[in-house]
Structure 1
Amino acid sequence: MDHSHVDHQEYEPVRHNKHGEHQENQHETQDHTTHKDPEHEGHHDHHAMMVKDFKRRFFVSLIIMVPILLLSPMIQMFLGVDWRFSADSYILFALSTILFIYGGKPFITGAKDELKEKSPAMMTLIALAITVAYVYSTLTVFVLKGNDFFWELATLIVIMLLGHWIEMKSVMGASKALGELIKLMPEEAHLIKDNGETIEIPVKQLKAGDAVLVKPGEKIPIDGLVYDGKSEVNESMITGESVPVEKENGNEIIGGSINGEGILKFKVTRVGDDTFLSQVIRFVREAQDSKSSTQKLADVAAKWLFYIAVIAGTITFASWIFIGKDLSFAIERAVTVIIISCPHALGLATPLVNAVSTSIGAKRGLLIRDRTAFENARKLNAVVFDKTGTLTKGEFGITDIHEIGISRDELLSIAYSVESNSEHPIARGIVKEGKKLNLKMKEVKNYQNLPGKGLKATIEEREVMVVSPGYMRSEKIAFDEKHYEKLAQEGKTVIFVLERNLLLGYIALSDIIRETAKEAIDTLKTMHVGSIMLSGDNQRVASYVGNILNMDKVIAEVLPQEKAFKIDELQKEGKIVAMTGDGVNDAPSLAKADLGIAMSAGTDVAIETADVILVRSDPLDVVTILKLSKATYKKMIQNLIWATGYNIIALPLAAGVLYNQGIVISPALGAALMSLSTVIVSINARLLKID
C-alpha cells in the first residue's frame, strides 16, 4: 500500500563447492572466532593465582610465626614463662629470615616494581617497614645490644598477607561479572549443512551466514537472525530483561541467551569481537579500567600519602631519639607510622566501588562507557528525550477502530488481508495486530497499489479498498470529519476500509508509546529532575505524546543538526543535561550533553558518542542510571572518608603522641588496623546496591 499521504555489516558469504554443498572442511580448519576472551581469562587466571599464592604464603608464614612467638623474650615475659636456652636467638633469627624471605617476597617484589615505575606506594612502604624491622633485629643478634623485633616482624608479615589475601578475594568478587558473562557462551553448535543434515561443531568455527539449529532449553551459541521456528528466549543474564522474549522469523537473537520450548533455526550475523556479548564484555572491562574524577583525586592523595608516611616516620624516629628514648623504641615507632600510613585503603576506595557499580549496571543492561560522565549523572536536573524510538517504539500500532455495519473482527480481517502485501510501517502495524488476534487471512486477488491513495483488491468476490483521507475527499465519500480531526489532533494516522466506495469503517494508528515511559517521567519528577522532549515531529503530534507522559517541556519540529544547539541552550540556562536518543541521528546531541544516553535498539551497542548505552531500550533505565550514579558516588565518599579519617586518627597514635597516657600502638597492631581498614573499604564497596 502506498502510504505516501502519511506525515510522518557486511559479512563474508558462505562459500559452496561445485555441488552446492557447504565446505565442511572450512569449519574444521578455520578458527574465525572464539567466544572465550583470552585477555580476560588470562587476567582472571593471573588474579586467581595471586589469591592462591597469598593464601599459601599466609598459612606457611602462620606456621613459622608460632615458634618465633614462643621463642621471643617479650612474648615469654607476657605469658610469665622462661623458655630461654643457649643459641635461641640464632634459631629465632633463622626462622625470622625464612619468614622474611618467603612471606615478605610479594612486598619486596612489589616495591621493586613501584620504584622501577617511579611511583612508590603501598608495597614500598610495607617493604621498607619489614626491612627496617628485620635489619635492626638482625643487628641486635650479632652486633647491637637491645630488644629485637622478630615477633613484631612475624606478626606484621602474617597480618599483611592475610589482609592482601582477603582484599584480593574482594577484588575478584567485584570483577566476577565479566567471568559470568563469558561463561554464558556454549562450546558447541548445531550447524545445518546445505543438504539439511545437522552436525555438531565448535562455536568458534562458525562463520557469518552459517545456518544453525537451536533445540529447546539450549543456549543460543552466537548472534543471528531467525529464519524458521518460534520460541520464547530468556535474555535476562545479558540484557536484564526478566520476561522471556518471543522470537520468530525475522527476529534477532543474542548468543548466550537461553532458548525456551520451541525449535529455532537462524543465520549467523556476527562473529568474534562483533558479537553482542563480546562488545558488552569490552565495555564492562573498559568501564572498570577507566577512572572517574573522584578516583583520580584519590590516586593523587594516595601518592602523596607515601611521602607523608616516610617523612612522618623519619620525624617520629628523630623526635624519640632527641627526647632520649632508646634506639629500639624509636625504630618501633617509625616502623608503626610507616605501616599504619600505607595508602592501600585510599587506593582501593574508589576502584572497588567502580568495579561493583559497573557489574550492577551490566546485569541491568546498562553499559557504562565514560565513568566521569556517569559519576556526574548524580548532578543532573534535566533529562532530554528524543521521541521516536526512545519514548515511543518507532513502530505503528492500532489505537482506535470504528466499524460501520460489520463486526470489528471482519473490518480488521479485511484490512489485515489487504495490507499483508505491503511493507509500509502502517501496514506492518495492522498485520501485527491481525496476527496477535489470530484473525483469518483471506485470499487476496487483483491486488492493486493506488499511488498516494491506498490499496485495492478482491476478497471473497468483494471489491475492497484500504485508503487515505485524501482519497475519501477526492471521491467525495462521506465520513465523520469531526472524529477524524480529533484523531488527527492526537497525532494518529487514519485509514479507511471501503467496499465499492461504501464505508465499512476506519482504523487509527500511531507510534506506540513505550510501556515504561510514563513511569520513567513520573519517577524523574519525584527526583526533582525535569523531563524535556526534543522531537523532529510536528508540534501537534509531539505535544500529544508529551501531554500523555506529563512531560515538563516539549520542543518540536527540530532538525537533527539543530538538536545539539537546543542542548547547548539548556546548558546555558544553568541546567546539567542528559540526552537520551537512539544514537543514529542523535549523535551530535549525545556528545554535547553532560551525559549521553543511547538506546541500543537490540543488539547494536556500537554507539560511539554515548556515555551510557541502554541495552533494553527502556526509558525507565534512565532512572536506574541516576540512582546507580548517586549510590556509587555515596559509596565512594564513604570509603574516602573512612580511608582518610583512619589515617588522620591512627598516624599520631602510631607516632606515640599518647605515650605518656599509656596508649601505644605496636607495629603488629598497626598492621592489623591497616589491613582492617582495607577490608572495611572492600566490604563497603560490595554493599553497593540500588532499588
Structure 2
Amino acid sequence: MSKCDHCLLEFPEKDTVSVEVKGSPKIFCCNGCAGIYRFINEEGLDRFYRERKWEEAGQAFSKGIDLKPFEGLIRESEKEGLKEIDVFIDGIRCASCVWLNEKILGRTEGVEYARLNYATHKAKIRWDPLKTDLGSVLKRIVSIGYQPKAYSESEHFIARKAETRDLLIRFGTAGFLSSQLMIYSAALYAGYFQGMEFGLQRLLEVIAMLLTVPALFYSGAPFFAGALRGLRHFQFNMDFLIATGAGSAFLYSLYQMFSGGEVYFDTAVMIITLILLGRYIEAAAKGRASETIERLSELTPKEASRIRPGSGPETVPITSVQKGDLLQIKPGERIPLDGVVSSGESEVDESVITGESKPVGKTAGSAVIGGTMNLFGSFVLEVSKTANETVLAGIIRAVEDAQAKKPRIQNIADVVVGYFVPVIILLALATTVYYFAAGRPAHFAIMTGISVIVIACPCSLGLATPLAVMVFTLRASAKGILIKGGEVIENSARVDHVVFDKTGTITQGKPQLKDVLVLDAALSREECVSLASAIESLSEHSLGKAVCAADMSSKRREVLSFKASPGKGVEGVIEGRKIHIGNRRHMISSGVPEAEIEALNKRAAAFEAEGDTVIFMSWDKALRAAFVVSDMVRPEAAASLRELNQLGLEVSMVSGDNAKTTSAIAHTVGIKNALPEVLPVGKKDFVEALHREGKKTVMAGDGINDAPALTAASVGVAMGRGTDIAMESADAVLVRNDLNLIPYFIRLSRRTYSIIKQNIFWSFFYNIVAVPLAVAGILHPIVAAGAMAASSLFVVFNSLRIRK
C-alpha cells in the first residue's frame, strides 16, 4: 500500500498517480489530489504541507469514521480466512452510484467481494484481514463522497420511509410551484406572440424567476448535491445530468431576462418536477417490493426475558443474548431466538417458517425456531443461536444476498452505465456547438443540448435487473423458496431437465420401520434393532433414523470406529463386533457371500415391489438381520411432476436404492426414467452427462449423498428439512417440503427472466431512439424530462408485474 502525498490516505500501488512537482516526484491516489497538490505549490502555498502535522491529520481522518457500531456486525465468511459485513451506504441516488461504489471497492486491495443492493442501499463486503482492515475499506467509500453506516433492518426501513417522505415533500413543493409558474409562463408566451408592455413582461419574468428558485434549489437540492459530490471525485453521475439540464435552463433564462430574450424558467422547474415524480414512484415501488423483508424482520422480538441463576428474569435486548443463555417463554409470545426447550412444554405455531398451520408440540429437548409463536404453555429455552445466526436471520440474509447477486445479463447494463454519462455530456456539448456553428438561434442550440442531457436515462438500465430480482426474491420467499443469487433466476429459466433424488424428495423423508427379518436364531428382534440403532444414530440418512425411532431399548451402546460410505451404508464396532449395515453392495464389500444374499432376495423382493426398502445387517461375513423400511410418497408428487411435464421439462429420478423399489416409486408418481443403485458420484456423473448432451438441469435432493449432484447441476434445489451439507451445496432451498414449489419456482423464474430481458431491451431501445430525437432538436426539454421519467417508470411497473 502507498500513501497519498496530499490526502494521506493509503491506496493500492497499482492505482498510483505519479507527478513531478518542482523537480520532486510525488505520488497520489487520484488525479484530483495530484491537481490540488500542484495548484497549492504553484500558488506559493506549499507552506501548508510543511506546517501540517501528518500524523494528526491521518488520525483526524480516521476519527471521522467511528468503527464501534460496525464491530458487532463483522462475521466470518464462508470462505476460510475472510471477514464479511453488511454496510448501509448513504447517498445512493441512482444506478451510477451503485456502479461506482462496486468498482471502487472491487479495486481496493484486500477486498475480495463487494455488492451493493440498489433497492436497500446495503453493501455486502468481504475482505482479507491479512491484507486490509475495515477502517481502510470504509475510508474508500468516504473518499468518493458516500457515507457508510452500520446496517440494521430497523434503521434501513426508517431511512427508506424518510427518503420516500422527503421525495414526496420535494415533489409536492415543485409540483405546486410549477403549476403556479405555468400560469405566468402562459402569459409570457402569449406576450411574445401578441406583444406585451415591457414593464409587465419584466414583472412576470421576475415572478417566474422567484417561483423557480425554491423549486430548483430546494426541491432539486439532492440532484445538485449529488452532482457536486461526483464532481469532487471526477465522477459524472445521473444527478449531474439532471442538475446540468435544469441549471442550464435556469442560467440561460437569467441571461435572456436581462438581454431581452425569451425565458425558460418553466423548463428548469418541470425537469425537476417530472424527475422527482419518477423518483418518488420508484422509491414507493421499492418500498412495496421490500415489504416481505420488513414483515420477516418484525417477527423477531427486540427484547427477551433472560433467566440468571439466583435471580429473577430480566428484560434484555436480544443482541446481548449469548449461546447457552436461558430465556423464559410465556404463552402468546414470539420466540426471540433459536434454541432447545430446557424445561416445560407447549405447542408452537411454526407456519411463518414452514407454512404448516398445525401447531407443533414441544417438550424438553425439542428444537424451537426464533420468530415462531408460542401458543399455550410456558417453557424455558436454552439459546443455541445468536440474533445474527437464527433461521429467520438466515432467511432474511439469503433474500437480501440474492438481490445483490446479479444475473450475467446484468453485466451488459453495468458496462453501459459506467460510460453512459460522460458520453451523453460530450454528445450534448457537441450538439450545442454544432447548432451554434450552423447558425441556428442561441436558444435553440442551448435548449437542444439541454434536451440531450435530460432525456438520457442510464437509470432504466441500472434498474432493469436489480428491481426485477428484488421482486422475484421477495415473491419467492413469501412462498417458501430461498435463492442464493440473481444468476439462479437466469439458470432456472433455461432448464429443460429436472432430476429428483428419491428418498426425502419424492418420498416424504419420514420412513418407518415396517418389519424386521431376523436371520440369526441367537438374536431377538429387539436386539437387532438396538444394535442397528446405535450405529445409525451417528448417521444422517433418513432410512437409518427409522430404525432409531423404533428402538425401544433403554440400553445405550458405545460405538467405536464409525464410518459412513455414501450410497452404500455404515459400519461401527460394538462390543468387539464390527457391524455393517446397508444395501447389497455394502454387504458384498464387507465379505458376505453373494449366495447368502441371493437366498434372502426372494423375501426382500416382495417388499421392494411395494416400494419398501430393505436394509441388511451383518458381522463376521454373515447376514444377521434385514430391516424393511417404508417411506410414503409425497401426496403432491404426482401432480407436481405432471405440471413439470406440461412446462415442457423432462423428468428423471436417481436413487441409491435397489431397482425394484426405485421402479415401484417411479411408477407410482409417473416418472419414466428412473436410475437405481446410483452412488453419490454416479448422481453427479448423470447430471454432467445431461450437460454434455446440451441439457440445463435442476437437481432436487436433501441428503449428504446428493451434495455432489446439487453442486454439478445448473440449479441445485435442496428440500428445507435436508442436511446442512445439501442446503449449502444448493442454489435454492425450499423452506416448505412441498414439491409443488419446484414448478412454481421454474414458472416464476421464466416470467422474471422474460421481464428482465424486456426491461433491458426497453432501456436500450429508449435511449437509442430518444437521444437521436433530442439531438435532432425535435424534443423540447420538458418533453425530454417527461420521457426520461417515463422510461424508469416503465421498468418499475414492468418489474412489479412479477408480484401478480
Give the TM-score range, shorter chain.
0.7 to 0.9
> Contact conserved, 1:631 with 1:689, CA < 8 A, in 2?
no
Seen in structure 2, the aligned counterparts of structure 1 residues 296 and 48 have a Cα distance that, compared at 3 Å, is farther
Quick one: which of 159, 164, 179 aligns to 1:46? 159
> Contact conserved, 2:707 with 2:726, CA < 8 A, in 1?
no
Amino acid at match of 2:257: V
Question: After the TM superposition, which residues 136-215 of structure 1 pair with which residues of structure 2 at under 5 Å, given as runs?
Answer: 136-142=252-258, 144-191=259-306, 200-215=315-330
Amino acid at match of 1:248: K
Confirm whether residue 353 of structure 1 aligns to residue 473 of structure 2: no
Quick one: which of 485, 497, 503 aligns to 1:382? 497
Identity %: 31
Residue in 2 that maps onto 1:340 = 455
How many Å apart are 1:603 and its aligned residue?
9.6
Residue in 1 that maps onto 2:713 = 593
RMSD: 4.1
How many Å apart are 1:616 and its aligned residue?
2.1
Residue in 2 that maps onto 1:291 = 406
> Contact conserved, 1:231 with 1:260, CA < 8 A, in 2?
yes
Residue in 2 that maps onto 1:665 = 779
Amino acid at match of 1:665: L
Quick one: which of 256, 259, 281 aligns to 2:396? 281
CA distance in 1, matches of 2:201, 2:188: 15
Residue in 2 that maps onto 1:248 = 362
CA distance in 1, matches of 2:264, 2:631: 77
Residue in 2 that maps onto 1:56 = 169
Residue in 1 that maps onto 2:134 = none
Q: Report Cα offsets for 1:570-607 as digits up to 9, x if no partner.
A: 21122111222226343332222211222232795994
Three-state SS of the structure 1 residue aligned to 2:698 is strand
Confirm whether residue 133 of structure 1 aligns to residue 242 of structure 2: no
Seen in structure 2, the aligned counterparts of structure 1 residues 296 and 113 have a Cα distance that, compared at 3 Å, is farther
Seen in structure 2, the aligned counterparts of structure 1 residues 485 and 387 have a Cα distance that, compared at 3 Å, is closer
How many Å apart are 1:283 and its aligned residue?
1.4
CA distance in 1, matches of 2:694, 2:723: 36
Structure 2, unpaired ranges of 5+: 1-70, 75-85, 87-149, 517-523, 537-541, 559-586, 588-599, 616-625
CA distance in 1, matches of 2:418, 2:442: 29
How many Å apart are 1:277 and its aligned residue?
1.3
CA distance in 1, matches of 2:411, 2:291: 24
How many Å apart are 1:273 and its aligned residue?
1.9
Confirm whether residue 647 of structure 1 aligns to residue 647 of structure 2: no
Amino acid at match of 1:60: T
Seen in structure 2, the aligned counterparts of structure 1 residues 360 and 152 have a Cα distance that, compared at 3 Å, is same
Amino acid at match of 1:642: W
Confirm whether residue 120 of structure 1 aligns to residue 240 of structure 2: no
CA distance in 2, matches of 1:211, 1:446: 30
CA distance in 2, matches of 1:153, 1:206: 55
Confirm whether residue 548 of structure 1 aligns to residue 668 of structure 2: yes
Tell me how many residue pairs correspond in the alignment. Answer: 593
Q: Report Cα offsets for 1:6-50 as digits up to 9, x if no partner.
A: xxxxxxxxxxxxxxxxxxxxxxxxx9999x994333443333332
CA distance in 1, matches of 2:503, 2:378: 33
Residue in 1 that maps onto 2:646 = 526
> Contact conserved, 2:497 with 2:651, CA < 8 A, in 1?
yes
Residue in 2 that maps onto 1:467 = none
Seen in structure 2, the aligned counterparts of structure 1 residues 589 and 426 have a Cα distance that, compared at 3 Å, is closer
Three-state SS of the structure 2 residue aligned to 1:687 is helix
Seen in structure 2, the aligned counterparts of structure 1 residues 314 and 232 have a Cα distance that, compared at 3 Å, is same
Q: Report Cα offsets for 1:167-201 as digits up to 9, x if no partner.
A: 12212222232222111111333445667965554
Confirm whether residue 104 of structure 1 aligns to residue 224 of structure 2: no
Amino acid at match of 1:181: L
Residue in 2 that maps onto 1:676 = 790
Question: After the TM superposition, which residues 425-464 of structure 1 pair with which residues of structure 2 at under 5 Å, given as runs?
Answer: 429=546
CA distance in 2, matches of 1:130, 1:255: 51
Three-state SS of the structure 1 residue aligned to 2:674 is strand
Amino acid at match of 1:44: F
CA distance in 1, matches of 2:423, 2:555: 89
- The higher relative CO (CA closer than 8 Å, separation ≥ 6) is in 1
CA distance in 2, matches of 1:282, 1:190: 25
Q: Report Cα offsets for 1:593-630 as digits up to 9, x if no partner.
A: 21122223279599433221222233332222211211
Residue in 1 that maps onto 2:655 = 535
Amino acid at match of 1:374: I
Deviates more, 1:570-579 or 1:644-653: 644-653
Amino acid at match of 1:636: I
CA distance in 2, matches of 1:534, 1:196: 57
Q: Report Cα offsets for 1:131-167 as digits up to 9, x if no partner.
A: 221222222234x452121121112212222221221
Seen in structure 2, the aligned counterparts of structure 1 residues 427 and 145 have a Cα distance that, compared at 3 Å, is closer
> Contact conserved, 1:58 with 1:158, CA < 8 A, in 2?
yes
Q: Report Cα offsets for 1:283-314 as digits up to 9, x if no partner.
A: 11111112112222223334454355335534
> Contact conserved, 1:583 with 1:609, CA < 8 A, in 2?
no
Confirm whether residue 689 of structure 1 aligns to residue 800 of structure 2: no
Q: Report Cα offsets for 1:188-241 as digits up to 9, x if no partner.
A: 3344566796555443343323344433332121112235565553333334x1
Three-state SS of the structure 2 residue aligned to 1:247 is strand
Confirm whether residue 236 of structure 1 aligns to residue 351 of structure 2: yes
Seen in structure 2, the aligned counterparts of structure 1 residues 197 and 426 have a Cα distance that, compared at 3 Å, is farther
> Contact conserved, 1:374 with 1:595, CA < 8 A, in 2?
no
TM-score (norm 1): 0.75
Deviates more, 1:317-326 or 1:270-279: 317-326
Three-state SS of the structure 1 residue aligned to 2:448 is helix
Three-state SS of the structure 2 residue aligned to 1:151 is helix
> Contact conserved, 2:349 with 2:360, CA < 8 A, in 1?
no
Amino acid at match of 2:781: P
CA distance in 1, matches of 2:556, 2:256: 105
> Contact conserved, 1:577 with 1:594, CA < 8 A, in 2?
yes
CA distance in 1, matches of 2:554, 2:382: 33
Amino acid at match of 2:249: A
TM-score (norm 2): 0.65
Q: Report Cα offsets for 1:364-386 as digits up to 9, x if no partner.
A: 22211122133221111112222
Three-state SS of the structure 1 residue aligned to 2:728 is coil
How many Å apart are 1:320 and its aligned residue?
4.0
Residue in 2 that maps onto 1:23 = none
Q: Report Cα offsets for 1:505-547 as digits up to 9, x if no partner.
A: x996413333333333222111121222232333333333222
Q: Report Cα offsets for 1:114-136 as digits up to 9, x if no partner.
A: 45566534222212211221222
How many Å apart are 1:391 and its aligned residue?
2.5
Question: After the TM superposition, which residues 51-90 of structure 1 pair with which residues of structure 2 at under 5 Å, given as runs?
Answer: 51-66=164-179, 68-72=181-185, 74-75=188-189, 77=191, 84=200, 86=202, 88-90=204-206
Structure 1, unpaired ranges of 5+: 1-30, 402-413, 435-440, 450-469, 471-479, 496-505, 658-663
> Contact conserved, 1:32 with 1:204, CA < 8 A, in 2?
no
Seen in structure 2, the aligned counterparts of structure 1 residues 345 and 584 have a Cα distance that, compared at 3 Å, is same
Residue in 2 that maps onto 1:461 = none
CA distance in 2, matches of 1:393, 1:380: 25
How many Å apart are 1:256 and its aligned residue?
0.8
Quick one: which of 336, 359, 368 aligns to 1:221? 336
Amino acid at match of 1:138: L
Residue in 1 that maps onto 2:122 = none
CA distance in 2, matches of 1:536, 1:602: 16
How many Å apart are 1:318 and its aligned residue?
4.4
CA distance in 2, matches of 1:447, 1:346: 64
Seen in structure 2, the aligned counterparts of structure 1 residues 652 and 297 have a Cα distance that, compared at 3 Å, is same
Amino acid at match of 1:157: I
CA distance in 2, matches of 1:642, 1:399: 60
Quick one: which of 613, 629, 634 aligns to 1:514? 634
